[in-house]
Structure 1
Amino acid sequence: MPASLAAVKRRIDSTKSTRQITAAMQMVSTAKLNQIQHHTTTYQVYADKVKSILASLVKSHAIDSMGANNGMGSLFHPRDVKKTGILVITSDRGLVGSYNSSIIKATLDLMRQKNLTAENTVFLTVGRTGLDFFKKRGMNVAYEYTGVSDVPTYTEVRDIVQAAVSRYQNGEFDELYLAFSHYVNRISSEVITEKFLPISATDLIDETPAEQAADALPGAEYEIEPSVEEFVEMVVPQYAQSLIYGSILDAKTSEHSSSSNAMSSATDNADDIIGTLQLQYNRARQAAITTEITEITGGMTAQE
């Protein structure tokens, strides 16, 4: 076999091997996506119920009596912002298309909008990609968490929530933003950067005009046992966990979707390359055969 034909044949075989790998990775990512979507859907019911309970406390002014330094009640009281915390959720690995770059770009855009620098920003990172990116640029990474499972469990977020809330209460930063990729559907996602702390009553009470009109009417008074303070101390951590766990579930869903789409594109590109190389190989082989026939014919003519 001529050298040129052998080189093209090696490229075809190599591309076919790559295609097998990307096709298998696409199948794995799709299976993970289907699995986590079930968890995300069922968990959202719980998260909505916790939010509803906390919204009822806010609307009844049960939390107003709790001071800015009173346990979990402090999470509702804004203060002068000297430092801003950003909890960035990225993946631990690559091969996920533009998933990580979109999150990092949105985080940098947030920093520009709020005039944030390495001196007045504290990062909490979930995922190795974000950790490596901001550490290499000299940012203050006060907390890092890597190795999030493909379908995160509720217990996994407890350390993350505790780190975020305790650092806010200790004054390491005066507000905290979440930056993560929100899963829209199997072909698209969008990056969300939203404020997590202090908890906003406006965000909790997201009502239609009809509901707002109903709230303007005299309503029932709440009697809470054993006390408002103890009830808030129980509900607020659950609400914080529901937000962060929900964000991580959402981010992981988006990650699996991005990985599936990236591997699908890679597989399609491999098919295109194989087709082009196969056409190139056939043409070169045909040319080689034609040359051999011409040489044989010329030799026979010379003998005659």
Structure 2
Amino acid sequence: MPASLAIVKRKIVSTKNTRQITSAMQMVSTSKLNQIQHHTTTYQIYAAKVESVIAHLAQSHAFGSSSAGQASSVSPLLTQRPVKKTGILVITSDRGLVGSYNSNVIKSTLDFMNEHDLNADNSVFLTIGNTGTEFFTKRQMNVAYEYTGVNDVPKFEEVREIVKTVTEMYSNEVYDQLYVVHSHYVNRISSEVEVSQMLPISEETLGDIVDSKEAENADQVSPAYDFEPSEDDIFSVVLPQYAESKVYGAILDAKTSEHASSSNAMRAASDNAGDVIGSLELKYNRARQAAITTEITEIVGGQVALE
């Protein structure tokens, strides 16, 4: 076999092996996506109930109000103060091979920083995922907290420690407001990056939740509450649960988007490998046909010379 044919054949075999790997990775990502979608569906029921309770309390003005710089008497999570530093919780993946998933999140984070004139001096980063940690650390950003190794289907217990750290840093005035940046899963072929304010909790940060509840209750009397055992005891339970639901929901959503992006990236890689294989096989067949034609011509020419 001519050397050129051997090289092309070796490339064909190598590309076929690569396609087998990417196809297997696509199947794994699709399986993980199906698992987390089932888990997310059941969790969303709980999260919707927590949001409903919080929205009703906000409508009834049970949160009260705290002027800037003054601690809330209800919960530290409600305390509003002048913004000296902004916390940014960025959720990325621990690995690559997920298409544009990480780059979209990082780009949206940088755009958000430009819009709000944020830099290393007036911002604090909390990163979930190795990609975001490495990116912002290399750029000399203030990464005050990092978490890696989130499960493919995250468990609620994982989030408790994250939420505890996030809220303690807010209470200790490491930052004065907190935004969450993550990739929101739309469907299996589409996702979009969301940037939402998490702390301090107020009617403004609740935003669309309160608006939707007000629309639902437009013809009803505004809710009022009598608290038992006490208002502080109720909020000490409800508000941390709301914070947990927000962070856990964002991580679940981000992981769902990550698996979908990985599946799409591996499918695209498999399709591209198939195109390369087709092109190489055509090239191989043409070269092989040319080699055979040359051999036949030489044989016929030799026979004619003998005659």
TM-score range, shorter chain: over 0.9
Superposed displacement of residue 238, structure 1: 0.3
**Partners of 1:212 and 1:74 in 2: how far apart?**
29
Deviations 1:184-206 (A, max 9, x none): 00000000111111113142412
What is the identity, as a one-letter code, of the residue corresponding to 1:200? S
The alignment status of 1:278 with 2:281, answered yes or no, reads yes
| 2:136–2:143 Cα contact (<8 Å) kept | yes
**Candidates 95, 103, 122, aligned match of 2:124:** 122
SS at match of 2:57: helix
The alignment status of 1:151 with 2:156, answered yes or no, reads no
Superposed displacement of residue 85, structure 1: 0.4
Unpaired stretches in structure 2, ≥5 consecutive residues: none
**Partners of 1:72 and 1:2 in 2: how far apart?**
82
Give structure 1 regions of 4+ aligned residues with deviation exceeding 4 angstroms. 65-68
SS at match of 1:288: helix
**Partners of 2:13 and 2:80 in 1: how far apart?**
62
SS at match of 1:213: coil
Q: TM-score, normalised by structure 1?
A: 0.96
Superposed displacement of residue 75, structure 1: 2.1
Superposed displacement of residue 264, structure 1: 0.1
1:253 corresponding residue in structure 2: 256
**Partners of 2:112 and 2:250 in 1: how far apart?**
18
| 1:72–1:236 Cα contact (<8 Å) kept | no
| 2:88–2:125 Cα contact (<8 Å) kept | yes
**Partners of 2:215 and 2:302 in 1: how far apart?**
96
**Candidates 86, 89, 105, aligned match of 2:88:** 86
| 1:66–1:73 Cα contact (<8 Å) kept | no
2:201 corresponding residue in structure 1: 199
| 1:71–1:233 Cα contact (<8 Å) kept | no
Across the aligned residues of Structure 1 and Structure 2, the Cα RMSD in angstroms comes to: 1.6
Deviations 1:179-226 (A, max 9, x none): 0000000000000111111113142412267435335x4x55422111
Deviations 1:50-75 (A, max 9, x none): 11111222222222177842476232
Within a 5 Å distance, the mapping from 1:171-210 to structure 2 comes to: 171-202=173-204, 203=207, 204-207=209-212, 210=215
1:294 corresponding residue in structure 2: 297
The alignment status of 1:213 with 2:218, answered yes or no, reads yes
2:32 corresponding residue in structure 1: 32
% of aligned pairs identical? Answer: 63
The alignment status of 1:232 with 2:235, answered yes or no, reads yes
Unpaired stretches in structure 1, ≥5 consecutive residues: none
Q: Cα distance 1:102–1:220, how it changes in 2: closer, same or farther (>3 A)?
A: closer
Deviations 1:94-115 (A, max 9, x none): 0000000000000000000000
Between Structure 1 and Structure 2, how many residues are aligned? 302
Deviations 1:72-98 (A, max 9, x none): 623224321110000000000000000
Q: TM-score, normalised by structure 2?
A: 0.95
Q: Mean Cα displacement is larger for which, 165-174 or 5-14?
A: 165-174
Q: Cα distance 1:280–1:161, how it changes in 2: closer, same or farther (>3 A)?
A: same
